[in-house]
Amino acid sequence: MSKARIAVLVSGGGTNLESLLNAQEAGEIPHGEIVVVLSSAAGACALERAKNHGVPGFAVPRAGRPQEEFEAGLTEKLTEYRADLIILAGFLSILSPGFVERWPDRILNVHPSLIPSFCGPGMYGLKVHQEALRRGVKVTGATVHLVNEIPDGGRILLQKAVEVLPGDTPERLQRRVMEQAEWVLLPQAAELVAQGLAR
């Protein structure tokens, strides 16, 4: 069986990447294989995680570079590793419509809320959980979706709800959403799309 070749794009600590690597090693992504990790930040801990799992990792720094140059660097590595599927796992750089169009229905993103809640410009990371607590919602969660050229657009693949508990801080809520939703959904979505690509 030919496996879909997966590239994971990261920007920071790489906890979502770790969940994908662990799932792969547990046989939970049988139709895919993570072949490369690319970080938009030099020195990101995620690159060390990739190395610990024997996966090549490279920094393609975003800071101080024009969008076209940054995306050209990403494209070069993605082409070199013959990526079939791209997973944005805590990747904080916005990709241009032109870049997205090169991989139609092949870019997965995870968002730490139940889309359409708490998404849009400026809604990422801890800010999402701060807003959920500010609004007083009782349930939040995470969404994995296919990216298209429309900001916050794309087809929702999977969602999972997570309870907001009394006394939650944004940090506590963020951790619960990662553990109960993001780390569960990402490997499932990776396998779902990889299965289609591997046929």
Output the pLDDT for position 53: 97
pLDDT (tens digit per residue) in 80-120: 999 999 999 989 888 999 999 999 889 999 999 999 999 88
Output the pLDDT for position 12: 87
**The one catalytic residue among 31, 111, 129, 145:** 111
Percentage of the chain lying above the pLDDT 90 cut: 81
Q: Are 131 and 123 in contact (CB under 8 A)?
A: yes
Instruction: Specify the residue for token string 């916050």.
Output: 152
Q: Which residue has the higher pLDDT, 13 or 173?
A: 173
The mean pLDDT value for 65-86 works out to: 96
Output the pLDDT for position 145: 93
Amino acid at 12: G
Residue 4 — pLDDT band, cuts 50, 70, 90? Answer: very high
Output the pLDDT for position 156: 87
pLDDT (tens digit per residue) in 139-190: 999 999 998 754 455 688 899 999 999 999 999 999 999 999 999 999 999 9
Name the burial class of residue 86, with classes exposed (0-12), middle (13-18) and buried (19+) by CB atoms within 10 angstroms of its CB.
buried
Strand order from edge to edge, sheet including 107-111:
57-59, 32-39, 4-10, 85-88, 107-111, 139-146, 156-163
31 noted as active-site residue: no
